[in-house]
Amino acid sequence: MDAYTAIASRKSIRDFKEQVIDRKTIKKIINAGLRAPSNNHLREWEFVVVQNRATRLNVINKIQKKYTKKGVEAWLDSWNSTDPIQRAAYLDGVPKQYTMLLTAGCLILPFFRQPGPLLKPKSLSDLNAFASIWCCIENMLIAAAAEGIYGITRIPFSAEIKHIKEICKSPADYEIACYLALGYPSDDAKQTKQHPVKAEDKIHLNFW
């Protein structure tokens, strides 16, 4: 599969078959991630692959397990969300936050070295490490798609970050970027509709 086909086939999936991804394929996907550019040319990235079920249950146990449709709608209303496609995507995705991480064929926790406080940057450059790990993660998602594997990311909240770092025993100067759930889509996996976007509608020549 060429790069353009892999990019076009990449999609966010939250419904997985209970099928483990073999280590060779996981390594191949992470190697693709490691081809991404890094802010300091050192690729100070580490990956905790959580395959043991008991460990995974422990890692994700700070995530809210159940959401009601009414609760999600109230949250969207508070956000002044009126776009029907956006609302439908959240109504499908938010209630699956816990189950998608539990049932994925592989759960990866990508860590990156962050010398200073991530949430208190003194300049935009202080976020370079955070930006570069996401280049790595996107590479991994595209490589996974080339293998017929799809995934989803979820940004952890503060309490979850502290919990994960304690379980993983990660160094103090490393931060977790997200939960990265990868797996083979279930036969009835839902793919939410997205707004069609064309380059010609987004390109501004010389000025906005």
**What pLDDT score does 149 carry?**
97
What is the second-level CATH architecture of the domain 3-185?
3-Layer(aba) Sandwich (3.40)
Which whole number is the average pLDDT over 173-200?
95
Return the minimum-mean-pLDDT range out of 19-28, 161-170, 186-195. Answer: 186-195
The pLDDT tens digits of the residues spanning 113-145 come to 998 899 899 999 999 999 999 999 999 999 999
**What pLDDT score does 59 carry?**
97
Tokens 């999600």 locate to 72
**What pLDDT score does 125 carry?**
94
E strands in 78-183: 106-113, 150-154, 174-176, 179-183
E strands in the chain: 45-50, 106-113, 150-154, 174-176, 179-183
Domain boundaries of the chain, sorted by first residue: 3-185
Q: What is the pTM of this model?
A: 0.95
**What pLDDT score does 18 carry?**
86
If you average pLDDT over every residue of the chain, what do you get? 95
What radius of gyration, in Å, describes the C-alpha atoms of the chain?
18
Distances (CA, A) of 172 to 111, 113, 136, 175: 11, 9, 21, 8
The pLDDT tens digits of the residues spanning 59-78 come to 999 999 999 999 999 999 99
pLDDT band at 205 (very low <50, low <70, confident <90, very high): very high
The token pair at 157 is: 């909240």
In this predicted structure, the answer to whether residue 148 has a pLDDT above a threshold of 90 is yes
The pLDDT tens digits of the residues spanning 15-49 come to 999 899 999 999 999 999 999 999 999 999 999 99
In this predicted structure, the answer to whether residue 1 has a pLDDT above a threshold of 90 is no
